[in-house]
Amino acid sequence: MVASGPLLEFGGRVRLRTLTRIRWVAIAGQLAALFLVRFGLDWPLPMNAALAVVGVSVVLNLVMNFRRPEQGRLKEWEAAAYLAFDTLQLALLLYLTGGLGNPFALLFLGPVTVSATVLTRRATAILCGLVIVCATALVFGHLPLPWSETGLVLPRLYIGGLWAAVVIGTLFLAVYAGSLSAEGRRMSNALSAAQLSLAREQQLSAVGGLAAAAAHELGSPLSTILVTATELNREMPPNSPYAEDIKLLQAEARRCREILAELSLQPGTDDSSDPFARTPLSAMVHAATDRHRVEGITLNIEAAGGDDSAEPVVANSPEFNHGLGNIVQNAVQFARDRVDVRVAWTQDTISVTVRDDGPGFAPAVLDRVGEPYISSRGEGHLGLGIFIAQSLLQRTGGRLAARNLRGTGGRVDGGEVVITWPRASLDVNA
């Protein structure tokens, strides 16, 4: 008889629509084989029972047509259940048509091969056990296949050989196909990681190009603004209500000029003659975060080692400064009253945790943290801050993770971003 078997997509995800279509083809094949043997060869078969077995498959397919799993894909246990159904259906058809003496008994290998390709080892082991149990049961009990008027009785030794062939073939294909599939998945995962890394680098390069162009274009008007603000401050009477605004304008213009100057530095340069080229980790964190202090928001920085190891000494890195600075700036902009920055280290790792007491990350943003052009602030914001920060920190060996903090009653009570590094990637003395 013809065994049904689902077609599964690469990566172990089963598309329900494909599964039902393939099973309809299998049902058609089973019916064709039954009618050909019964009416073409005129062999007496238990047609009512055989058609009932095929009818169960028809009912299952009809039920599946009304199902709508998420994204049209089946979970692993569902796919395993369908493969188990294929095995049991084939076993019942073989029971009605000669047992292991039926040439179609080799189709027992189909569901096992598919399972080894896309499902876990546990699911494949269970399916192998089911196949072996079914094959063993068919050795001791089945209806004879009417090869002739007197029937055909095969020697027990031959039946035992068929049983051994099915069992050995099942186990061999489970191990062989499973090993090949695991190797293929590892290669696919490595390729996907490389493609994702390349895409991120291309996005960062595009953003970097825009930043360089913006820095070049902003240089001249920023200098003009600073000169104009300086002259206005010189001519403004000390008691003018606009004096404080003019001073603030000067300070912000100078800050913008310093930022543009920092952007012009080449990343990764190491000037060993600079006495500040290497500083303690806590001092580096202070340098990256202090410039983002604003009135009305308390910015608290704590540093403590998790064991008796000495505080790491790190090289002055623009990637570290800008990356961590963007994270802190984002926290300050969303905080209500307070932002806490905690620096910790052990003999093996370094971590910086940034917490704020704001509304936390929006669900749509939290699921896609680190992607460009994702923002919950609405029009006027590009959503590049965390993307740039993550890309820069990854260049220093850091990994970024974000989550919402939960308060009383499960309500969101702020956001948290944790950056971790292997100590050897930052500590120049490691």
The chain-wide mean pLDDT, for the chain, equals: 77
Q: Are residues 30 and 169 in the same domain?
A: yes
Domain edge (last residue) among 166, 196, 226: 196
364 assigned to some structural domain:
yes
Q: Are residues 187 and 205 in the same domain?
A: no
What residues does 257 pair with on adjacent strands? none
pLDDT attached to residue 124? 87
Q: Are residues 172 and 208 in the same domain?
A: no
Lowest mean pLDDT among 56-70, 116-130, 295-309: 56-70
Give the CA distances from residue 208 to residues 186, 199, 201, 211, 212, in Å, rounded to whole numbers and listed in that order.
Answer: 32, 14, 10, 5, 6
pLDDT attached to residue 210? 60
Q: Are residues 67 and 98 in the same domain?
A: yes
CB of 22 closer than 8 Å to CB of 7? yes
1 assigned to some structural domain:
no
E-only strand ranges, 306-337: 313-315
Q: Are residues 406 and 339 in the same domain?
A: yes
Structural domain range at position 172: 14-196
Q: Are residues 173 and 257 in the same domain?
A: no
272 assigned to some structural domain:
no
Q: Amino acid identity, residue 150?
A: T
Lowest mean pLDDT among 126-140, 217-231, 270-284, 338-352: 270-284
Q: What is the pLDDT of residues 196-205, one digit of tens each?
A: 666 666 666 6
Q: How many CB atoms lie within 10 A of CB 70?
A: 7
Q: Are residues 21 and 155 in the same domain?
A: yes
Lowest mean pLDDT among 70-74, 300-304, 327-331, 343-347: 70-74
Strand order in the sheet with 298-305: 298-305, 338-345, 349-356, 412-422, 399-406
- Largest Cα–Cα separation, the chain: 122
* Confidence check: pLDDT of 69 > 80: no
CA–CA distance, 300 with 321 (Å, rounded to integer)? 17
* Confidence check: pLDDT of 380 > 50: no
DSSP 376: S
pLDDT attached to residue 12? 45
Comparison of pLDDT for 184 and 372, the residue scoring more: 184
Burial 216-226, CB ≥16 within 10 A → b, else e:
eeeeeebeebb
DSSP 8: -
9 assigned to some structural domain:
no
Q: Are residues 33 and 45 in the same domain?
A: yes
Q: Are residues 289 and 325 in the same domain?
A: yes
Lowest mean pLDDT among 225-234, 373-382, 412-421: 373-382
130 assigned to some structural domain:
yes
What single string gives the DSSP state of each residue in 254-312?
Answer: HHHHHHHHHHTSPTT---TT-TTSEEEHHHHHHHHHGGG--TT-EEEEEEEESSSPPPP
Domain edge (last residue) among 263, 287, 315: 263
- 337 in helix, strand or coil? coil
CA–CA distance, 207 with 373 (Å, rounded to integer)? 11
pLDDT attached to residue 26? 77
CA–CA distance, 339 with 373 (Å, rounded to integer)? 24
Q: At what angle do helices 385-395 and 156-235 cross, to 10 degrees?
A: 110
Lowest mean pLDDT among 23-32, 49-58, 318-327, 362-371: 362-371
Q: Are residues 338 and 208 in the same domain?
A: no
270 assigned to some structural domain:
no
Reported as a pLDDT band with limits 50, 70 and 90, residue 352 is very high
Q: Are residues 108 and 238 in the same domain?
A: no
In the chain, the percentage of residues whose pLDDT exceeds 90 is 6
Reported as a pLDDT band with limits 50, 70 and 90, residue 382 is very low
pLDDT attached to residue 201? 65
Dihedral angle, C-alpha 303, 307, 310, 312, nearest 10 °: -60
Tell me how many domains the chain contains. 3
E-only strand ranges, 8-96: 14-15, 73-74
pLDDT attached to residue 263? 59
Q: At what angle do helices 109-118 and 156-235 cross, to 10 degrees?
A: 20
Reported as a pLDDT band with limits 50, 70 and 90, residue 37 is confident
Residue 175, classified by CB atoms within 10 Å of its CB into exposed (0-12), middle (13-18) or buried (19+), is middle
* Confidence check: pLDDT of 302 > 50: yes
297 assigned to some structural domain:
yes
- Supply the pTM of this predicted model: 0.48
Q: How many CB atoms lie within 10 A of CB 371?
A: 15
Q: Are residues 155 and 207 in the same domain?
A: no
* Confidence check: pLDDT of 209 > 80: no
Q: Which residues contact 238 (CB under 8 A, 6 or more apart)?
A: none
239 Rama class: left (phi>0) / alpha (psi -120 to 50) / beta: alpha
7 assigned to some structural domain:
no
Comparison of pLDDT for 354 and 179, the residue scoring more: 354
- 81 in helix, strand or coil? helix
CATH number reported for the structural domain that contains residue 336 in this entry: 3.30.565.10
Encoded tokens for 408:
């009383």
Encoded tokens for 45:
């078969």
Domain edge (last residue) among 196, 225, 250: 196
